[in-house]
Amino acid sequence: MDYVSALVPPLVMAVAFTALIVTIVKSQGGANKAKEDGIVDAALARAERNSDD
């Protein structure tokens, strides 16, 4: 029974890591990409304006 308790944490971490990767891949592209690109572009423009002052 010790082997079960030894295997559970790595299995939980593997499942969590897989879910993280799937979430990252799904969030790339599509409507989210345009929205995220707009936010990044606005932040970069704001930073450039502030550095010029």
Tally of CA atoms within 13 A in the half-sphere of 31 that contains its CB: 0
Of 12-16, 21-25, 42-46, 49-53, the poorest mean pLDDT is in 49-53
Residue pLDDT, tens place only, 8-34:
999 999 999 999 999 988 877 777 777
Q: Is the pTM of this model over 0.75?
A: no
What pLDDT, on the 0 to 100 scale, is given for residue 1? Answer: 80
Output helix, strand, coil percentages for the chain, rounded to the nearest 5: 90, 0, 10
What pLDDT, on the 0 to 100 scale, is given for residue 13? Answer: 96
Report the alpha-carbon distance of residue 17 to residue 5 in Å, rounded: 19
